[in-house]
Structures are given as structure tokens and as C-alpha cells.
Amino acid sequence: MNRLAHETSPYLLQHADNPVDWWPWSAEAFDEARKTGRPVLLSVGYSSCHWCHVMAGESFEDQDTAGFMNDHFVNIKVDREERPDVDAVYMEAVQAATGQGGWPMTVFLTPEAEPFYFGTYFPPAPRHGSPSFRQVLEGVRAAWADRRDEVAEVAGKIVRDLSQREINYGGTEIPGEEELAQALLGLTREYDAQRGGFGGAPKFPPSMVIEFLLRHHARTGSEGALQMASDTCERMARGGIYDQLGGGFARYSVDRDWVVPHFEKMLYDNALLCRVYAHLWRTTGSELARRVALETADFMVRELRTNEGGFASALDADSDDGTGRHVEGAYYVWTPRRLAEVLGDEDAELAARYFGVTEEGTFEHGQSVLQLPQQDELLDAGKVASIRERLLGARAGRPAPGRDDKVVAAWNGLAIAALAETGAYFDRPDLVEAAVGAADLLVRLHLDEHARLARTSKDGQVGANAGVLEDYADVAEGFLTLASVTGEGVWLEFAGFLLDHVLARFVDEESGSLYDTGADAERLIRRPQDPTDNATPSGWTAAAGALLGYAAQTGAEPHRTAAERALGVVKALGPRVPRFIGWGLAVAEAVLDGPKEVAIVGPAIDEEGTRALHRTALLGTSPGAVVAVGTPGSDEFPLLAERPLVDGRPAAYVCRHFACDAPTTDRDRLRAALSGRG
């Protein structure tokens, strides 16, 4: 019996027809384990995970393997994107026991949910020193049958060890100049000056670190910080990790040179990178940064927007290669022969040089991932546009990668912030409208009458799983950005509702530390808590940033205090592991700069002078600056209170802690005040 057919998770639905007797994560599954005296086999993955698909095909679709699993285990399948709390708790155990992690994650549990044996992907036959999945199953079954007391002792020790990992880095001391300078020095040591980015292969796009570097440059004038940010962005944009035809970024590069990506495309990566490139353009005026920001925004709207107005989670790495086989990267790669079939011989030769397509190939089987390896442009803009259009049209005829249509609240919050700012910077009201549409969906579907947030929805049906800290924080960040861009105070109000939940349910009042789940959430073997930034800002640092932004907009001292206490973890970890707390460092830069609060008042929001000052304010580089725009006396934004026009003209007030400099009607003076320094 398979119980996944009525789930909303695309990943679980992919396994609905397996011969494995899967259960979703539920109390009923553990009741079954206790009743039958069998251990639990927990398998965690996500829909666009390449190795999850591989293990499913090799093992979960195999009748003999499935039969053994059904006879000896209670099998639970979890989508890590729907239940990041479950994933986090058991991944911590896997990493502690094996020194590494990844997906699919395979964990064997007692009926009390205590882990006792771990792994990730297991092959169908022994390989490279790794046992086969069947050998693992048989070994665990034998241990459970013959050495139950030993298994229980191991499980109890693991749970005790995990329970002692409480993180109490909250406090009243925020990171100062010294800690941020040490963090910058640490990044400099790990920086790859030849290729951009940090560390070796595989290389992940360091979006949150780049945000810190841009903010540090804005506040201090550090040219080294700006150089690392701009060079890394250029190398990524010219590499195979960036889709040179359709825009958007893949999950990571398997090599140090950004050439060969792991081809899955995630909403969160593209939202974060869209915003980073828009901020880089805001700082430098780089045409490359402008193009990549807009192309990435257009990719998200074109390929990830759902019928309900939200944004889907991901596109798969694999697709049909035209022979019925699902192959990684099949949708994206080219050969000289394929170029010639689309472009003709002459243009194909030009395109091969321009995009780095060779006979030997840069990927597998003589195929190449498109890049822009030349610093100088080989073709004029018109020819490039023609070639790209024809290749993109031909690629659209290939079998497309699958799409995970699940709408994740946190990642949609990141997309809302990116699209709102990109639309405002480049006069693209359609992008702002897309951000508003996603925000409307979250309010309409994901928020209940008590402003509690659901983690996911799909096809207009809200999921059963409660939002975690990153959901509340990232959605609040998106709403705050939307409020600054649109001048609609309702988004500030909704952000306040969410952040009140953060203060009430996620913050430890005594230490100021934050938890990833609410105090009233389902009890797991431990309450997950991770302040480090990974593929996305951690809930901890995202909450610090949103709380700080809300306090700057409203003057709310409890929110400011909570933000500063949360940054104690950045003071502790920033100098030691700056690559893994980039968003926390970026928030710390905002605290040191104020952040600045900008009130724009005019006779009407859409009046020409008001719009000009508003745009100038949005383009200011002061770290974490907030913007409120409206008419004098408007009660939608507290920043606008008692801020009159100047001689009947639109005016800008630049403030810190609601104490303002003299107002100005001059855009150049406003621009100088928001340069990030002083």
C-alpha cells in the first residue's frame, strides 16, 4: 500500500507508484513501527535532486528491494523542502556520524524516531568501498533482530549528543569594525583570484557573501571588497553555471572554473543572484550586471511563475535526451553539429567561438555547456541577439526538464524582494507586478486568520506543514522591500504581523538565540537551530535582517533589540567562518550604518518630482537603508509622520533612529547622503 498519492509534494508524488509501501512523515507511521516492532527507514530528498532520481530508479522501483523494505521496515519518505525541520535534525546526525551529508539521505530510526544508522546515496551493488543498498538493509535488519539493546544504546547516545548542541550566541554585543574587518580578511584568504569565488570544486554561487562585500564597500570604500564581488559576478555570468540563452543560474559548478554546472535551477538561487546583480549594477553601473539581473528576473517570471501567481521551487537537472533516457543537462548542451543544424555553417562557426563550443566538448560525450569565454566581444550585438534567439527557439523544441510546482513561502519571499527591486531600478513595472502577485498569493493562501504562515502550497492548495523561521523572515523581507518600492503601507503591516510571530514563537527570551521552528511546533528529537547561511540565508540571520528593517521603518524598539541580540552569533562566527554567515555579515553592515531611513514626501506618489526622489532613494547604496514614500500626514508609514513638503515641493528626509537631517529637494544631495559613507 502506498500512501503518497494524495500528498501535495511533487517529490512524494514521484514515489506514489513505487512498489515500496511508503508512508509520509506522520504520527501514524511511527505508531505502525511500534505496533509491528519494526525499525523506520527514513528517506529524505527533493524533486530536482539528480541522485534522488538515480536511487529511486535503482532501488525503490525494484520489486525485490521494495519487497525486502516492506517486510522489515516502516518506510517514510520526506520532501526536505516541505519539512526542512525534519531534514535539518537528521542531517545534523548524519554529518556528525559520517563527516559528510547530502541527498538522498537515508536514516534508520527506532520507533521513537531516534537515529542509529546513516547514509546518503547507496548504490545497487557494492561500489568504491560503499556497500550496496541491499547489504545495508540486511545489515540493519540483522542488527535490529539480534542486537536490539546495542542499537537502542547507540540511538540514545546520538540523541543525547544532539541535545547538547544548543547554540546560545545571542547577546547584547553586535559585530563591530574589528569583526567585519577580520571577516573580510578571512574571505580574502579563501578567494580564488584567478577564477572568482571562494574555495575549490564544487563551487556554489556565493550570493550572500557578495551582498556583504557590496555593503562593506558602500560603507567603507574598500576597493578590495568590491573587486572580489564584481570579479566573481563576472566569472559566474560568463561561465556555464549561467544559462547563456535563457537566463538564470544552475545550482552550482562541479569545477573551479564555473564551466560545468549541476543543471538543476532553484528559485532561491535565482532570486538571491538576481538581487545581487541588481545591487552590483547599482554600485558600478556594469552593463553585464544589468543584463544578468534582468535576464534572471525574466527567467523566473517566464519559467517558474505558477498559474496562481507564485513561483515554483525548481527545474530538474535531468530531461529526456531524445531517446527516452533521462540525462543530466540534456536540455542545455550543444555540439558543433547541432549548432550547424540550427544556424547554418557560417553562423555556427561564429557561435561556437562566441559560446566556447568545441569538438572535444566541455561536458560529457563531446557536448559543450555554453559560456562566454572571451573578454572582448567577437560579434556585434545584433548578430548575438539573432543567434541567441534562434538557438533558444530550437532548444524550446527539446523535451523540457520537469518543474517542481511547489510554492515555498520563504523562497517566494526572496523572489518578491528581487523582482520588486529589479523592476524599480530598471523601470520594469511588469516585474514589480509579478512581485505583488506572489505577495498576494502568500497573503491569500499561506496566511491564516492569525497571520500564521504555511510552508508550502501547490496548484492553489495550501500544504499541511507549518512555516519555519526562514519562511516568516524571508516573506517579511519581501514584504518590506515591496513596501519601499510601491509605497503601499499594507505590506509593512503584513511584515509586522509575521515578525510579531518571530518574537513570540522563535526567539529565546533569555539568550536572544533563535530556533528554526516555533515553540508550538511538532516535537522532534531536538529543536532545530542553525545560524549559518547555506544555499539561502539561515532563518536566524534572515530574521535579524527583517527585524532590523522593520524597526527602521517603524521605530519599534523590541524589533531592533531582537535584531541586535541575534547578531551576537555573527560576532562569534563572522571572523572564523565568513563564507557561511554572509547574510549575517550584511545585516551587521546595516547596523553599523544605521541603517539609514529615508522618507520621501510629495503631493502624490506618482507626481514627477516625488517619483524622481523616490527612485534616487531606492538606488542609494547605504547598507540596509529603508525607504518610505507617501503624502504628508500619511499614516501608512510611521517615517512619514510630521514630514512636510518644502516650499510646496517634494522633499526627502534622511534619518537614523527617526532623527533626521535637514530635508532636501535636490536629487544630487540625496544621492550623496545615501552613498553609504558618512
Q: For residue 231, what is the DSSP state?
A: H
Confidence of residue 236 (pLDDT cuts 50, 70, 90): very high
Compute the average pLDDT of residues 425-448: 98
Length of the chain: 678
Mean pLDDT is lowest, of 356-365, 373-382, 526-535, for 373-382
> Is the pLDDT assigned to residue 373 strictly greater than 90?
no
- List pLDDT tens digits, range 577-589: 999 999 999 999 9
C-beta separation of 160 from 555 below 8 A: no
> Nearest Cα to 262, choosing from 270, 253, 271?
253
> Is the pLDDT assigned to residue 43 strictly greater than 80?
yes
C-beta separation of 85 from 33 below 8 A: no
> Is the pLDDT assigned to residue 95 strictly greater than 90?
no
How far apart are alpha carbons 236 and 306 in whole angstroms?
27
How far apart are alpha carbons 644 and 600 in whole angstroms?
10
Cell numbers found for residue 34: 511500534
> Is the pLDDT assigned to residue 442 strictly greater than 80?
yes
What's this model's pTM, rounded to 2 decimal places?
Answer: 0.95
> Is the pLDDT assigned to residue 170 strictly greater than 60?
no
pLDDT of residue 48: 81
Tell me if residue 27 falls in helix, strand or coil.
Answer: helix
> Is the pLDDT assigned to residue 138 strictly greater than 80?
yes
Please list the residues that pair with 586 across neighbouring strands: none
CATH number at 178-316+404-593 = 1.50.10.10
Contacts 24+ apart (CB under 8 A), 288-294: 288/233, 288/234, 288/237, 289/230, 289/233, 289/237, 290/426, 292/233, 292/237, 292/242, 292/247, 293/422, 293/425, 293/426, 294/422, 294/426, 294/428
Q: For residue 636, what is the DSSP state?
A: S
Average pLDDT, the chain: 94
pLDDT of residue 369: 97
How far apart are alpha carbons 415 and 297 in whole angstroms?
9
Confidence of residue 454 (pLDDT cuts 50, 70, 90): very high
pLDDT of residue 676: 65
Confidence of residue 377 (pLDDT cuts 50, 70, 90): low
Q: Domain extents for the chain? A: 10-163, 178-316+404-593, 332-397, 597-673
> Is the pLDDT assigned to residue 489 strictly greater than 80?
yes
C-beta separation of 583 from 275 below 8 A: no
Confidence of residue 171 (pLDDT cuts 50, 70, 90): low
Query: Between the CA of residue 360 and those of 316, 349, 364, 367, what are the distances in Å?
Result: 26, 15, 9, 7
C-beta separation of 548 from 556 below 8 A: no
pLDDT of residue 291: 97
pLDDT of residue 166: 65
> Is the pLDDT assigned to residue 127 strictly greater than 90?
no
> Is the pLDDT assigned to residue 162 strictly greater than 90?
no
Cell numbers found for residue 188: 580574502
CATH architecture of 10-163: 3-Layer(aba) Sandwich (3.40)
C-beta separation of 42 from 76 below 8 A: yes
